[in-house]
Amino acid sequence: MPVSQTCAATESETEGCQPTMPMKSHTSKPRSGKRSMGVKTVMKALKKGGASRGRKPNQSSKGFVWCARGVQRLPKFGTATVKSKQSLFVTPVRMELTKVAKLNLKVVAPSSSCSRRVSKNGRKRKSPDFCGDRSFQSWSSIRVFSATTRTSDKPSQRGIWDFANQVRYSCDYIDACKKFNQKPGRFLNPLAGEFFSGLPSGWTSANAGAVNKEKFFKQFPDMQPNANQGSKIGVIAMFAGCGGLELGLSRYLYPTAYVEKSDYCRKILQLRMDEGLLHRAEIHPDVCTFDASKSSADGAGGGFPCQGVSTASIQKGLKDRRTQLVTHIFRVFDTLPSQHQRFLYFENVKAILGKKQSMRSLFNYIVQETSGRGLTLHWARISLSNVGLAAHRDRVFFFGAKPNDPIVKALRVEPLASLLEKSSVWNELNKVPQHLWLSEEQPCDHNERMGVLGNLVVPACARLGACVALGMAISNAPAP
C-alpha cells in the first residue's frame, strides 16, 4: 500500500498569543445578526498575524509557539515542549497516512416510517422520520448508549446514523437475510460488535473459553508467552477497560498492574489472564487510592474518561470531575520509585486537540505536567479509516519519554509502511457473516458487552498511534 510521509515545520516565534489591535468605538448599536466592526477588525488582525481560524503554520519552519489562549490549531502529529508557563513550542509533523475507500452503504427506509410526523403529545418532532433512501460513506461508531445498539421500527433522520439502524436498513444486510431465509434482527450481535471494534471474537464475553486461542495469537503475536518481554516497558495500566489499549500496545508495553472501576471489565480481565491471553498482574478497582510505591513498573498511563472532552458533551475539560481523573496518572507516576519514573502514555478523543478554550487548557496541562517530570510529549491522531475500516472514530495517543532513554531506544518499532499494509484488511480472522450481524432476541449479556465496546480503545488504532509517536521519540526527530 503506498505511503507518503514528509516532515515539515515553521519558525513563527511570536511571543504573544494573538496580535492585538484597537477596536473602533461605535455609538450606534450594531444591527442584529451581523458582527460589529470591532470584531471584524480583530479577525482581520488575526489573519494578518498568521493565527487565523484554520490556518496552519508555515511548513518551511521547525515549529511554532502555541498558547493556552488563541485560535491556532494543533496538528494531528507532533511534539510539544514547554516554552513558558502559558505557552508551548509545538513541532508539527506533516504526514499522510493511507485511508480505505469510502463505504457507499445504501440504506432504504421502511415504508411505514414516513407516516409519523408528530410525537405522542401532538407536537412536531425535533428530528423528523427518516424517509426515502440515502447512502453513507462510512460506518457510525458503536456507542455506550443502549439505544444505539438496537434497531428502531421507525428511525428518525438522526436515528438512521446509529450503527444498528445502518446495518438493519442497509440493502446488503436485507439481501443477506433473504438469501438465508432469515428474519432481520433487532439487536446488534456482540460478535459483530467485536468484529467492528477490531477485537477477537468472544473477547467481551464473561464466559471462559469464549476466545479462540489460535486465532488470538495470530492476531496479537506479541502476546504469546514466549514473546520477548525484555524489550518492553512495564507500566501501570490505568482505566484499563477490557484491555483494548493494552492489546494494541502489546508490542511495546506490558502491565504490571491493572486499575479499572467496572466490575464487568475486571471480570473480563481476570478471565483472559486465567486463559493466558493477557499478561498476569493484579487488578485494582480505584485509581484514586492506588499506590505504586512498591511497583517495578517504569511508567503509568491509560485512556482517561472522555465525557468532559468529547463534542457530544459540553466539553468542560478540567472543570469536569471525570476529566480530573487524569491527575491520578501523574500522581501514580510520582509514587513510583524515582529510578522507575521514565514513561507516560495517554489516550482520548480527537477533540482534545481542538480550539475550544477548555480543550487548550487541558492539552496545556498535560504537556506542562509531562515536561515538568523531564519527559517530552509526542502524539498521533489515528482514525479507523487509517487501519482498514471505513469509519470516523479518531483517537489521539500521547507518549511521554525522556530523550535518548535506553528503555525507549530498545523498543522494536514496526516499519510504518509494513504496518499499514497489514491493516489493509479489517479484522480478517474474526469475520462474522453479514446475516448474523443482528439477532432477533436480545442476548442476556448484551447491554454489558455493548457498554464495554462503546468505551473501547480499538487495538489497531493504538498500534498505529504507537508506531508513529514512538518513532518520533526514538529518532528524536519530528517524523518516524
Residue 204: inside a domain, yes or no? no
Residue 469: inside a domain, yes or no? yes
Q: Dihedral sign, CA of 259, 250, 234, 279?
A: positive
**What domain count does the chain have?**
3
Q: Is the pLDDT of residue 352 over 70?
A: yes
Residue 433: inside a domain, yes or no? no
Q: What is the DSSP letter of 377?
A: E
pLDDT value of position 157: 86
Q: Is the pLDDT of residue 479 over 60?
A: no
Q: Is the pLDDT of residue 343 over 60?
A: yes
Residues 361 and 271 in one domain: yes
| Beta strand ranges found along 93-214 (DSSP E) | 95-96, 105-108, 133-136, 187-188
Residues 86 and 225 in one domain: no
- What confidence tier does 51 reach under pLDDT thresholds 50, 70, 90? very low
Q: Is the pLDDT of residue 28 over 80?
A: no
pLDDT value of position 389: 93
Residue 448: inside a domain, yes or no? no
Alpha-carbon 67 to chain mean position: 24
Residue closest to 262 by CA, chosen among 456, 443, 398, 442? 456
Highest mean pLDDT among 40-54, 62-76, 289-303: 289-303
Q: Is the pLDDT of residue 174 over 90?
A: yes
pLDDT value of position 480: 35
Residue 28: inside a domain, yes or no? no
Residues 330 and 420 in one domain: yes
What mean pLDDT comes out for the span 179-183? 94
What mean pLDDT comes out for the span 34-39? 37
pLDDT tens profile 105-162: 999 988 655 544 455 555 555 567 788 788 999 999 888 777 789 999 888 888 889 9
Residues 225 and 176 in one domain: no
Residue 409: inside a domain, yes or no? yes
- Cα–Cα distance, 428 to 203 (Å, whole number): 16
- What confidence tier does 477 reach under pLDDT thresholds 50, 70, 90? very low
Highest mean pLDDT among 19-28, 84-93, 374-383: 374-383
Residues 219 and 133 in one domain: no
pLDDT tens profile 198-225: 999 999 999 999 999 999 999 999 998 8
Phi, psi dihedral angles at 109 (to 5 degrees): -75, 145
Residue type, 8: A
Residues 257 and 359 in one domain: yes
Average pLDDT of the residues of the chain: 83
What mean pLDDT comes out for the span 436-459? 92
Residues 67 and 115 in one domain: no
Q: Which of 164-168, 239-243, 255-259, 311-315 has the lowest mean pLDDT?
A: 311-315
- What confidence tier does 421 reach under pLDDT thresholds 50, 70, 90? confident
User: Is the separation of the CB atoms in 154 and 131 below 8 Å?
Assistant: no
Q: How far is CA 92 from CA 252, 256, 478, in A?
A: 24, 33, 7
pLDDT tens profile 379-393: 999 999 999 999 988
Residues 114 and 246 in one domain: no
Residues 283 and 332 in one domain: yes
The Cα angle at residue 192 between residues 107 and 243, in degrees rounded to 5: 130
- Cα–Cα distance, 440 to 186 (Å, whole number): 5
Residues 414 and 287 in one domain: yes
pLDDT value of position 321: 94
Let me know if 67 is a catalytic residue: no
Q: What is the CATH number of the domain that holds 350?
A: 3.40.50.150
Residue 58: inside a domain, yes or no? yes
pLDDT value of position 341: 95
Residues 6+ apart with CB under 8 A from 194: 200, 201, 202, 203, 204, 430, 453
pLDDT value of position 18: 36
pLDDT value of position 478: 41
Residues 6+ apart with CB under 8 A from 297: 234, 235, 236, 256, 257, 336, 340
- Cα–Cα distance, 241 to 252 (Å, whole number): 19
Q: Is the pLDDT of residue 42 over 60?
A: no
Catalytic residue among 306, 444, 461, 467: 306
For residue 449 the three cell numbers come to: 458487552
pLDDT tens profile 304-323: 999 999 988 888 999 999 99
Residues 262 and 313 in one domain: yes
Q: Is the pLDDT of residue 467 over 80?
A: yes
Residue 122: inside a domain, yes or no? yes
- What confidence tier does 62 reach under pLDDT thresholds 50, 70, 90? low
pLDDT value of position 194: 96
**The residue count for the chain:** 480
Residues 273 and 160 in one domain: no
User: For residue 65, what are the domain limits?
Assistant: 4-22+38-96
